Amino acid sequence: MPARIYITQPVAQGAIDRLKEVAEVSMNPDPLHIMTKTELIEAVRSNDILFCLLHDHIDAAVVNANLKLQAIASMTITPADIDVAAATARKIPVTVIPALLLNDATADLAWGLLLSLVRRVTEGDRLLRSGTFPGSQSRYMEGRGLTGKTLGIVGMGGVGQAAAARAHAFKLKVIYYDPKQLPPDEEKALKLTWVPFQQLLAKSDIVSIHARLTPESKHLFNDETFGRMKPSAYLINSARGPLIDEEALVRALHDRRIAGAGLDVFEHEPKPHADLLKMENVVMTPHTGSAITELRAAMANVVVDNILALLEGKKPPNCWNREIYDDN
C-alpha cells in the first residue's frame, strides 16, 4: 500500500506530481487558510507523512494523533512551530530546508521594504488610488535619500551578507554587529566594519535585522534599543518577528523616536499589532521573503527529496533531529 501524504497548503505542482508518483497525496487547497489544530489532528490521523508549512503549529497533540506517523516534513529553515521533542521521543524525523536557499530572496525583500519606506512608495500608491495627485514638486511627498547614509546590519549570516553586497550599489557605508565577527578578509571583500551593538544603533540611518532568533535574541529590539537609535532612523525586519518587542516598536513609532519601519515578519503571526496597520510610516508584507516562484518550487522539491529518502528507507538529507538515528 502506498504511503499517504498530507500537504497543509498548496505548493509547487511539480513537487506534488513527484509525490503522486510514489504516494497517495491529499491537501488543503486553500492558500489563505491556515489549518486549525483540529484540522491538523484529523489530517495526521489518516496519513503517514505530514508536509507542513511555516504557519502550521504542530504541537504534541498533533504529533501524537497517529501512532504510525512516519515523518513531519517542513518547508521551513527551522521547525520553530513544531514540537520536535514530542517527535523525537517517538523517533519521528522532522525535516527542514537549507537556509542558504533563501539568502538572496530575503535580502531582496529587505531592500524592497527599505526603498518603499524611505521613498514613501506604498503611501504614494494609496494616495494616488484615492484620487489625490499633489503637485509633483511640492513638499507633500518628500522622502529620504540613501546615498551617503549608514546602514547597520544586525546579524551577518548568509542573508546579512547578501544584504550588505547590495548596499554598495546605493553608495551606503555598511557597519554590522554579529556576536561572531567575520574574518578580516571577508570583511574587506564586503567592505564591512564590525561595531558593538550599541554603537551600531547610535550611528545607523537604517538598521536592517538579519539575526537568528534564539532565547537570547528575543526582543533584542525593545524600548531601550529604540531609545538609542536616531529619531531619523528606519528599522527593517525580514528575519523573525519576535526579535522585536512589537509593543515597544509601536510606542517608538508613535512617539517618533524612530522615523519608520519596514516589516515582513511579526511577533505574533499571522496577526501584526493592530496599531501598525494604521501607521503611515510603516510598510508591511505578510512574511513573503521566499515568495519567488522558482524559489518556492525549489523549496518544495527539497521537502520532496526528504520524503522520498524516508520512503526509500534512507536518512533524509535535511533532518533536524538527527539524534533519532544514533542507535541505528
Over residues 32-79, the pLDDT tens digits come to: 999 999 999 999 999 999 999 999 999 999 999 999 999 999 999 999
Pick the CATH number of 101-284 from 3.20.20.390, 1.10.3720.10, 1.10.10.10, 3.40.50.720: 3.40.50.720
Active centre residues (catalytic): 240, 269, 287
Given the C-alpha cell 539568502, which residue does it identify? 103
Kindly report the CA angle at 317 between 313 and 320, in degrees rounded to 5? 105
The model carries a pTM of 0.93
- Ranges of each domain in the chain: 3-96+292-325, 101-284
d(CA 28, CA 39): 10
**Average pLDDT, rounded, for the chain:** 96
Q: How confident is the model at residue 328 (pLDDT cuts 50, 70, 90)?
A: low
Residue 116: pLDDT band (50, 70, 90) is very high
CATH second-level architecture of 3-96+292-325? 3-Layer(aba) Sandwich (3.40)
Closest listed residue to residue 58, CA positions, set 33, 32, 85, 77 = 85
Angstrom distance (rounded) from CA 121 to CA 78: 32
